[in-house]
Amino acid sequence: MGEAWNDPERCDLAQTFAFACDDLPFEALRKWIDGALDLGAWLILAGHDLGPGGTQVTRVDALAQTAEYCRQRAKDLWVGTVAEVGMAIREARGR
């Protein structure tokens, strides 16, 4: 759970980094998305339950805004599960 972006060309697929997104507003998540886009990196958001907010709760409002932001930026980014993105990276590496 190191908070960092993953370089698709160099990351260890058995040990990827993730940003904890529990109880954070959309603006914090948007900054991480924009940072990943600037770096050409893979961003993993890790959260627990969904709800209005709390210690181990990803805010539904922030998640909805994040989904809409990603839809608006669809030409610039790809949203997928860790398994989907990991498999695409593995295939691109020829392994």
Query: Tens of pLDDT along 45-95?
Result: 999 999 998 999 999 999 999 999 999 999 999 999 999 999 999 999 997
Instruction: For residue 91, give both structure tokens.
Output: 């295939």
Q: Is residue 4 part of a domain?
A: no
Query: Tens of pLDDT along 9-31?
Result: 999 999 999 999 999 999 999 99
Q: How large a percentage of the chain has pLDDT more than 90? A: 92
- SS3 labels along the chain: CCCCCECCCCCCCCCCCCEECCCCCHHHHHHHHHHHHHHCCECCEECCEEECCCCCEEEHHHHHHHHHHHHHCCCCCCCCCHHHHHHHHHHHCCC
Check: CB of residue 38 under 8 Å from CB of residue 76. Answer: no
Mean pLDDT of the chain: 95
Q: Containing domain of residue 56, as a range?
A: 19-92
Q: Is residue 68 part of a domain?
A: yes
Total domains present in the chain: 1
Q: Is residue 82 part of a domain?
A: yes
